[in-house]
Amino acid sequence: MAEAERAARVEYDMGVVRGFTIWALIWGAVGMAVGLMAAIQLAWPEANLGPIHFGRIRPIHTNAVIFGFTLGVIFAGSYYAVQRLCRVRMYSDALSKIHLWLWNAIIAAAAASLAAGHTAAKEYAELEWPLDLAVVVMWVIYGVNFFGTIAVRRVRSMYVALWFWMSTILTVAMLYVFNNLEFPVSAFKSYSIYSGVHDANIQWWYGHNAVGFVLTVPILGLMYYFLPKQVGRPIYSHRLSILHFWSLIFVYMWAGPHHLIYSPLPDWTQSLGTAFSIMLLLPSWGGMLNGFLTLRGAWDRVRTDPLLKMFVVGLTFYGMSTFEGPMMAIKTVNSLSHFTNWTIGHVHSGALGWVALTSFATLYYLVPRLWHTEMWSRRLVDAHFWTATLGIVLYVTPMWISGVTQGLMWRAVNPDGSLAYSFIESVAAIRIYDVLRVAGGAVFLSGVLMMIVNVALTIRRGSAAIPREAAPLAPAPAAGGR
Amino acid sequence: MAHEWHRRLEARQLTFAVLAFVAVAIGGLVLLIPPYFLQGTITPLPGVKPYTALELEGRDIYVREGCYTCHSQQIRPFKTEVDRYGPYSLAGESVYDRPFQFGSRRTGPDLARVGGKYPDSWHWIHLRDPREIEPRSNMPRFDFLLEAPLDLSHTRKKLEVMRRLGTPYDDAEIEGAVASAQAQLAKLADGLRAGGMEISEIGGRSEGLAVIAYLQKLGTGIDWRSRGATEGRTADAR
């Protein structure tokens, strides 16, 4: 019996999780610093230095924070959790290592090639075809490793978080391949096989679902695993998880055309996009409530636990932006908000409020466990939480105000029906908000720098040497039983 | 319990994955396939011609510099938009656009119909330093484009690829792509010089000139300026 137990012992691979944790933080700091630079360039055009101008900087910012920072956290969290939820080591150590370094190489090459002006010019899909191929290889490696681990699991049932990550892997593969089909002219230049409205249609099918299946679905996976872990009680409702999961992934995929309202895209397509965007409110709030209700009876701990503060404020921003999004998808509202800073405010309330705060909480959960020590400073974690929250408010509020201001100025008419303002007057009117945004971004970035210092000092104090073992199997599988 | 069937599904990885994939694939199939059967989205309007070799090169530079991150090319069907920019955009106008350039944020104004709105010399000065023309502008200076010679080594290949993808270039246009680009550059440069602008030898075959050629083409597929439409005059006024 004792021998069988020993044979059944599994040592988790935490090396790959440590790698993704560190690199996610590095790319996060880089991506947000580049974002700050973009904000400075908008407020002070003299900060555009030759070819290093806003038009090239902005895609570097979005790619670094979405595919460097956020994906890095998703990889770290999902590699950590899948081994525990399946009670096995990763399917292949070699694939884990290749995944980590290929991903890092792609992000570095992406930054360099975008700076050099090699771009396919589709938002969040800017990389040129050789890098697209590398991304596909990297994603297949992640998929094989992740699905392979689940395939050899020693726990019968797959926990909710795994559903979210599995659907992420499948959906992103589909989105990425079809949106990036292009015909090469040279090693650095290609043309989309789609043109005009079809190119727009498929791009926003992709673009909206990059938000859906990189910034939402896998982050919900993190929430479903790490929030119950931190609270120390199971997720509120399994039935709600089921409803949440299937309705969310089904409905999300229809909402893309809300980026093309009043464009030359066929009207029925736009209307479908609007209708499904409004429907999306329900599954989104279902997931938010499942998270909030997990805290039932533990709300007092939100006062003292900085990680729970991050999860709770993160879920709150998730609820706010998934309410705001459907509203902005209504034609009447969209006619005002589209093309303005309101969109930028909406994106950042989701990206900084929901994605980044949940990601920070996940990393703060992981770091002490990966290096077998306490965080160097718990007060600094708390300070990071407050800094981040202040930064978000300072960033998003000016964007909302300037968005509405600009939208109203564009449509304002004199009593005789002529336009009340020239375009440049609307640019001048929002300049103060462009300056305020720089302040918001700087505050938010300073929180990330606090985190990096805190994590670095934690790592120096801790040790990576102690192996993490799977718990011996209980007679009846417990995971998934929540 | 009512969701006992789902418990069984949670133990079956392959079935679960297949069902999840089906769930996400349906929306895309419904939204992306049927528009291809709508003629209006794949047929160019009568006046819409493929880009000349130089305009295509200029467009590629416009794309390279990320101009779309601040300028939309999509006029919405509102009176105020039509007054400001010209007739609203139609699907048949962008059939040769790879990639599309609708944009998502107007940090600067829409450019869908900027063609013919200003003289070439205006664009030259504006690219050199937007604040020479409008002190409140926050657009970056693109003076470096006016000193960078245009690379024509891929021009022919670009037209070939475009033809393969469906743009109706004929053999003569592909054979003469480089010569045509050079001729159009020379014409633009001569025009600027004739108007009293100082254009260097490199400036006369620069990336900036190609961008100007592209900008002057935008939105001219329908002949709305010469029609003297009311909205046209208002748009020029603003």
What ipTM describes this predicted complex?
Answer: 0.93
Q: Which of residues 192-221 of A touch B (CB under 8 A)?
A: 192-203, 205
Which chain B residues are closer than 8 Å to A168 by Cβ?
A: none
pLDDT (0 to 100) of residue B238:
43
Tell me the nearest-neighbour CA distance from B212 into chain A, angstroms.
17
Tell me the nearest-neighbour CA distance from B190 into chain A, angstroms.
27
What CA–CA distances, in Å, run from B36 to A270, B29, B98? 15, 12, 16
Q: How many whole angstroms separate alpha carbon A7 and alpha carbon A44?
A: 64
pLDDT (0 to 100) of residue B2:
58
Q: Which residue of A lies nearest to B4 if distances are taken between CA atoms?
A: A239
pLDDT (0 to 100) of residue B235:
45
Residues of chain A above pLDDT 90, percent: 93
Average pLDDT score over residue span A268-289: 96
Q: Which of A119, A198, A417 sits opposite B64 (nearest CB)?
A: A119
What tens digit of pLDDT does each residue of A431-482 get? Answer: 999 999 999 999 999 999 999 999 999 999 998 777 777 776 655 444 444 3
Q: Is A465 exposed, middle or buried (0-12, 13-18, 19+ CB in 10 A)?
A: exposed
Q: Which residue of A lies nearest to B95 if distances are taken between CA atoms?
A: A196
Which chain A residues are closer than 8 Å to B67 by Cβ?
A: 55
What's the CATH code of the domain at A388?
1.20.210.10
Tell me the nearest-neighbour CA distance from A206 into chain B, angstroms.
9
* Any B CB within 8 A of A481 CB: no
What CA–CA distances, in Å, run from A214 to A70, A144, A284, A326, B64? 8, 18, 15, 19, 26
Structural domain boundaries, residue A245: 2-472
pLDDT (0 to 100) of residue A478:
45
Tell me the nearest-neighbour CA distance from A87 into chain B, angstroms.
15
pLDDT (0 to 100) of residue B41:
75
Which chain A residues are closer than 8 Å to B26 by Cβ?
A: 250, 253
Quickly list DSSP for A335-399.
HHHTBSHHHHHHHHIIIIIIIIHHHHHHHHHHHHHHTTS--S-HHHHHHHHHHHHHHHHHHHHHH
Report yes or no on A344 lying in a domain. Answer: yes
List the one residue out of A354, A388, A389 whose CA is nearest residue A284: A354
Tell me the nearest-neighbour CA distance from A447 into chain B, angstroms.
28
What's the predicted TM-score (pTM) here?
0.95
CB–CB of A51 and B144 under 8 A? yes
Q: How many whole angstroms separate alpha carbon B198 and alpha carbon A47?
A: 27
pLDDT at B228 over 70: no
CB B104 within 8 A of CB A339: yes
pLDDT at A275 over 90: yes
Please report which confidence band the pLDDT of residue B220 belongs to, taking 50, 70 and 90 as the band edges.
very high
* Residue B149, φ and ψ in degrees, nearest 5: -65, 140
CB–CB of B78 and A422 under 8 A? no
In terms of CATH, what superfamily is B47-237?
Answer: Cytochrome c-like domain (1.10.760.10)
Domain count across chain A: 1
CB–CB of A192 and B98 under 8 A? yes
What tens digit of pLDDT does each residue of B26-80 get? Answer: 999 999 988 888 877 778 998 999 999 999 999 999 999 999 999 999 999 999 9
Instruction: Return all residues near A361 (Cβ < 8 A) that are at least 6 apart.
Output: A226, A230, A307, A308, A310, A311, A314
What tens digit of pLDDT does each residue of B128-143 get? Answer: 999 999 999 999 999 9
A242 compared with A10, residue with greater pLDDT? A242
Which chain A residues are closer than 8 Å to B137 by Cβ?
A: 45, 424, 427
Q: How many whole angstroms separate alpha carbon B134 and alpha carbon B123?
A: 12
A69 Cα distance to chain centroid: 8
Report yes or no on A268 lying in a domain. Answer: yes
pLDDT at A7 over 80: no
Residues of chain B above pLDDT 90, percent: 86
Q: Which residue of A lies nearest to B66 if distances are taken between CA atoms?
A: A55
Average pLDDT score over residue span A41-45: 97
* Any B CB within 8 A of A461 CB: no
Q: Which of A158, A193, A260 sits opposite B16 (nearest CB)?
A: A158
Q: Which of residues 29-48 of A touch B (CB under 8 A)?
A: 41-43, 45, 48
Report yes or no on A481 lying in a domain. Answer: no
* Any B CB within 8 A of A224 CB: no
Report yes or no on A105 lying in a domain. Answer: yes
User: Token pair of A76, please?
Assistant: 């770290």
List the one residue out of A71, A221, A92 whose CA is nearest residue A159: A221
Q: Which of residues 354-393 of A touch B (CB under 8 A)?
A: none
* Residue A190, φ and ψ in degrees, nearest 5: -145, 165
Q: How many whole angstroms separate alpha carbon A248 and alpha carbon A121?
A: 29
CB B77 within 8 A of CB A262: yes
CB–CB of A158 and B10 under 8 A? yes
Q: Which of residues 274-293 of A touch B (CB under 8 A)?
A: 276
Report yes or no on A304 lying in a domain. Answer: yes
Q: Which of B28, B100, B154 sits opposite A205 (nearest CB)?
A: B28
Please report which confidence band the pLDDT of residue A5 belongs to, taking 50, 70 and 90 as the band edges.
low
Which chain A residues are closer than 8 Å to B94 by Cβ?
A: 195-197, 264
List, in sequence order, every residue forming a beta bridge with A469; answer none if it has no partner.
A11
Provide the number of CB pairs (under 8 Å) joining chain A to chain B. Answer: 252
Which chain B residues are closer than 8 Å to A412 by Cβ?
A: 80
pLDDT (0 to 100) of residue B4:
87
Which candidate in A198, A202, A434 is best for mutational testing of the B interface (most B CBs within 10 A)? A198
Average pLDDT score over residue span A335-351: 97
B4 compared with B19, residue with greater pLDDT? B19
Q: DSSP H helical segments within chain B, as ranges?
A: 4-9, 13-32, 53-64, 79-85, 120-128, 130-133, 155-165, 171-175, 177-194, 207-217, 230-237
What tens digit of pLDDT does each residue of A404-439 get? Answer: 999 999 999 999 999 999 999 999 999 999 999 999
Please report which confidence band the pLDDT of residue A4 belongs to, taking 50, 70 and 90 as the band edges.
low
Report yes or no on A63 lying in a domain. Answer: yes
pLDDT (0 to 100) of residue A468:
75
What tens digit of pLDDT does each residue of A352-406 get? Answer: 999 999 999 999 999 999 999 999 999 999 999 999 999 999 999 999 999 999 9
What tens digit of pLDDT does each residue of A80-96 get? Answer: 999 999 999 999 999 99
pLDDT (0 to 100) of residue A465:
77
List the one residue out of A471, A387, A427 whose CA is nearest residue A42: A427
Report yes or no on A270 lying in a domain. Answer: yes
Q: How many whole angstroms separate alpha carbon A347 and alpha carbon B31?
A: 23
Please report which confidence band the pLDDT of residue A197 belongs to, taking 50, 70 and 90 as the band edges.
very high
Report yes or no on A158 lying in a domain. Answer: yes
Q: How many whole angstroms separate alpha carbon B45 and alpha carbon B95?
A: 9
CB–CB of A272 and B10 under 8 A? no
CB–CB of A242 and B6 under 8 A? yes
pLDDT (0 to 100) of residue A9:
76
What tens digit of pLDDT does each residue of B10-22 get? Answer: 999 999 999 999 9
pLDDT (0 to 100) of residue A477:
46
Average pLDDT score over residue span B211-222: 96
List the one residue out of B67, B65, B61, B79 whose CA is nearest residue B110: B67
Residues of chain B above pLDDT 70, percent: 94
The dihedral built from the CA positions of residue B31, B32, B34 and B35, taken in this order, carries a sign that is positive
pLDDT at B234 over 50: no
Please report which confidence band the pLDDT of residue A3 belongs to, taking 50, 70 and 90 as the band edges.
low
* Any B CB within 8 A of A262 CB: yes
Q: How confident is the prediction for chain A on average, in pLDDT?
A: 95
